Structure 1
Amino acid sequence: MIDLSNKRALVVGVANEHSIAWGVAKALHQAGAEVAMTYLNEKAKPYVQPLAESINAPIFLPLDVRNESEEEALFRHIAEKWGTLDIVIHSIAFAPAKDLHGRVIDTSLEGVELSIDISVHSFVRLLRQAEPLMKNGGSAQTMSFYGAEKVVEHYNMMGPIKAALEATSRELASELGPKGITVNTLSPGPMLTRAASGIGDFDDLLKQAIERSPMRRLATIEDVGAVAAFLASDLARNITGETIYIDAGYHIMG
């Protein structure tokens, strides 16, 4: 059984009970970790607060990753309350609808910059703040999708964005490895989450994933949580820089 007792985690990206980040937060809590959670804004808070309370989250603060003051306040609070941090889970992505639903060749510079900022560089910023708190090493994880590697219909500009995230994760793994910090990317298959619902013809994508995957099913947020808990444990201390698929084998099919 995975034992995360005495470990402290920050989970960013929970929007509701269907969020992949929530599956991870639950798994970390069940394995014994203390879990800090954030919420995007006051509109999102009512959906996230009951979840935070259900796992006795000792830290629950707002975080819009484009708001530098909120980010600084979050890590200041973590430093004051805990003094250390062992696990960082980054599960956020965004693209403007106009750019996401159109051709990549027609995307705007502003849309790409915003998507990179929220979906990729926010991971860099979180780890920059977390690094001095990870005094005993730790685990950092982010979320991608198969569309980063192959063209997936209707995934459009998020393919290049997620490819950038995966490449960034490998660089971070190289830089932080000497400090005992692992950095990995989890790549779940299609899931019915709030974020995924913005992708065009998403129901068709779900159906195709079930039909094409060797296991003939979709992964769940609990499946992702189980892998995240393993990667956060000492059992996975030598696994870093990897993109790990949790998609019932969907990615191996031609």
Structure 2
Amino acid sequence: MDFLALSHKRVVVFGVANRKSVAYAIAKTLEENGALVEYVVRSEKRREELGKLLSGRTIHCCDVEHPEQIDSLAQQLAKNAQPISGVVHSIAFADYSDGIKPFHETTRKQFLQAIDISCFSLIAICNALKPLLAEDASVVTISISTTRMASESYGFMAPVKAALDSSLAFLAKSFSRFSRVRFNAVGAGLLKTSASAGIPGYVDAYLFAEKAIPRGEGLTTQEAANTAIFLLSPRSSGIQAQTVIVDAGMSTNYFDRQIIERVAGQ
């Protein structure tokens, strides 16, 4: 039984970097459920790097910092007459080349670049692909479990993700004038990915998360991916403009007795 009703549905996945990335876990699970996946990566170099991992798949290149490349991608995707039933936006970037600094020292260039790549790209992609989307398509982006906690290890990206989360409501409203397209996000807790490992201080935060999560184990990339799969499927048709938190209960357990005793004993 095709419970998720994803078989033969066309889904475009942005942001596969390697086999550890959330986008790859989503795409792999989509394929396992019979979906027809097309991949979009940032550059020709990345396409070459993924050649073996994604052998036989359709891979497009698009650097979302360049509007003309988004338009060109839409033209390429339009060559396939089948409507796009799902879009996965797993794109984020922040320039931490100078390390993590106090938030008030964030530069204009850093912040605007992060907003452009990590947030505005969703709006631009949806606008460009609008004529290609199925009437009831589902768009899913990857966000974070909370944008209100001032985690220093995440730098200035939390406010950027807050803008991404807010965009869901406005995209849902504007698209509702002519379609039933849905826009939702997976608000994932700390994940062990190659991209996150490059953030200064992130590994220590992940180790803390493993202790704070009630089950004593960190959130897996596949768990975040599974939620995205559900949001992409018609089974989630009643969910619109939401960020679904997937943190394995970490947000309920900050005052865990063992953590408190460990700190108090220092």
Q: Same fold (TM over 0.5)?
A: yes
State the partner residue of 1:252.
252
SS at match of 1:11: strand
User: Aligned partners of 1:252 and 1:240: how far apart in 2?
Assistant: 25
State the partner residue of 2:47.
45
Q: Structure 1 residues 154 and 73, CA, compared in 2 at 3 Å: closer, same or farther?
A: same
Residue 170 of structure 1 deviates from its aligned partner by 2.1
Residue 73 of structure 1 deviates from its aligned partner by 2.2
Residue 32 of structure 1 deviates from its aligned partner by 1.2
State the partner residue of 1:78.
77
C-alpha contact 2:187 2:243 (8 A) present in aligned 1 = yes
What aligned pairs does 1:22-171 form with structure 2 within 5 A after superposition? 22-53=24-55, 56-57=56-57, 59-98=58-97, 101-171=100-170
For structure 1, the residue ranges without an aligned partner over 5 or more in a row are none
Identical aligned pairs, as a percentage?
29
What letter corresponds to residue 241 of structure 1 in structure 2?
A: A
Q: What do the CA deviations read for 1:68-106 (whole angstroms, capped 9, x no partner)?
A: 232222211211113421111011111111576111101
C-alpha contact 1:245 1:251 (8 A) present in aligned 2 = no
State the partner residue of 1:184.
184
Larger Rg: 2
C-alpha contact 1:214 1:250 (8 A) present in aligned 2 = yes
User: Aligned partners of 1:133 and 1:99: how far apart in 2?
Assistant: 41
C-alpha contact 1:23 1:222 (8 A) present in aligned 2 = yes
Q: What do the CA deviations read for 1:11-64 (whole angstroms, capped 9, x no partner)?
A: 0000000001101111111111100102222332233222322xx53x311111
SS at match of 2:52: helix
What letter corresponds to residue 161 of structure 2 in structure 1?
A: K
SS at match of 1:192: coil
What letter corresponds to residue 34 of structure 2 in structure 1?
A: G
What letter corresponds to residue 35 of structure 1 in structure 2?
A: V
What letter corresponds to residue 103 of structure 2 in structure 1?
A: V
* Segment drifting more, 131-140 vs 41-50: 41-50
Q: Structure 1 residues 140 and 100, CA, compared in 2 at 3 Å: closer, same or farther?
A: farther
Residue 215 of structure 1 deviates from its aligned partner by 2.3
Kindly report structure 1 stretches of 4+ aligned residues shifted beyond 4 Å. none
State the partner residue of 2:261.
none
User: Aligned partners of 2:136 and 2:234: how far apart in 1?
Assistant: 10
SS at match of 1:80: coil
Q: Structure 1 residues 99 and 172, CA, compared in 2 at 3 Å: closer, same or farther?
A: farther
Residue 166 of structure 1 deviates from its aligned partner by 0.7
How big is the alpha-carbon RMSD for the aligned residues of Structure 1 and Structure 2? Answer: 1.7
User: Aligned partners of 2:163 and 2:184: how far apart in 1?
Assistant: 14
SS at match of 2:208: helix
User: Aligned partners of 2:41 and 2:166: how far apart in 1?
Assistant: 27
Structure 2 residue 13 is the aligned partner of structure 1 residue 11: yes
Residue 147 of structure 1 deviates from its aligned partner by 4.4
State the partner residue of 2:258.
none
C-alpha contact 2:65 2:117 (8 A) present in aligned 1 = yes
Q: What do the CA deviations read for 1:232-251 (whole angstroms, capped 9, x no partner)?
A: 11111110111112221123
Q: What do the CA deviations read for 1:167-221 (whole angstroms, capped 9, x no partner)?
A: 1122212222451111101011111212212322222111111110122212222
For structure 2, the residue ranges without an aligned partner over 5 or more in a row are 255-266
